[in-house]
Amino acid sequence: RQSQGKMKDVPRLGEVVEANEETVMFLEPWEKTVATFEGERLNCLSRMWCVFELFHTVRAGNAFAILLPKDERARFIDALMENARAATDAFAKLRIENAKAFDPKDEAWIMKEVDASVGRREVNRVVIEASHAAVTELAVR
């Protein structure tokens, strides 16, 4: 029964996100959007719903910000001091088709929506650019 209600609300995600002025994502660990080994701890941009939400945020012209807990922010700044491209390198691997959802039906629905609208390449471009801009802003705060 819960899944029936969810599937009724799912098509409204874009509408709901676009009605907000800003999307804020809490990333921990900041650089882990893609798993390199089984069971690795990943941030929210490894989840398909979050990538889809970020795409709708940008498409609506709304603000997007990334928040890091204090210890993650310190790791982030250390990484930038060691390699100025650390942040852009981390987000360059973002791909909606590599993101996961708990429910395979959700993954199929989202990919169908993406493919029927602007396509995966455009979603990936938008999400990567927005992520780069948000971490750049984070670095100068």
List the one residue out of 96, 1, 92 whose CA is nearest residue 46: 96
E strand or H helix that includes residue 54: helix 48-59
Q: Is the pLDDT of residue 2 over 90?
A: no
Q: Is the pLDDT of residue 9 over 80?
A: no
List the one residue out of 4, 3, 114 whose CA is nearest residue 48: 114
Enter the pTM of the model: 0.88
For residues 37 and 55, which has the higher predicted lDDT (pLDDT)? 55
Mean pLDDT of 61-67: 95
Q: Is the pLDDT of residue 1 over 50?
A: no
| pLDDT mean across residues, the chain | 89
Mean pLDDT of 12-19: 82
> Residue holding tokens 């310190």?
74
